[in-house]
Amino acid sequence: MEDQSNFNLLVSFIIYLLLVIAMWKIFVKAGEAGWKSLIPIVDFYYLFKIAMGNGWLFLLMLIPIINVVIIYIMFWKLAKSFGFGVGMRILTMLIPNLGTLIIGFGGSQYIGPQ
């Protein structure tokens, strides 16, 4: 039982580390310093700035119900700002971790908020 717990912990840590690196790479591709992706709250400001052109829109995440809608819109626009089509935008919206990995480690170029 303990071996399974240790394995799960290791896998979770590896996935987390990959997501941190992918987010760092997304920030760098968008012309922001990668370290900004490591600071809580600041990372959301810059993620919204990268995806939607206005970082302060992240404050809408403080409003119940609207926060769910705005995060879906942000991930849709994040994929769009890297030139991805509708299929990838839907994937990024529905499975954000997978979309983040594809955008971060893929060869896409940042074209700016659309």
Distance of CA 4 to the CA centre of its chain: 29
Is the predicted pLDDT of residue 29 greater than 90, yes or no? yes
Mean local confidence (pLDDT), 46-51: 96
CB 97 within 8 A of CB 64: no
Instruction: Give the residue with greater pLDDT, 40 vs 2.
Output: 40
Q: Does 5 map to a domain?
A: yes
Domain that holds residue 97: 1-105
Number of domain units in the chain: 1
| pLDDT, averaged across the chain | 95
Indicate whether 75 belongs to any domain. yes
Q: Is residue 111 part of a domain?
A: no
Q: Is 110 a domain residue?
A: no
Q: What is the pLDDT of residue 107?
A: 95
Residue 114 lies in a domain: no
Q: Which element (helix H / strand E) includes 21?
A: helix 2-29
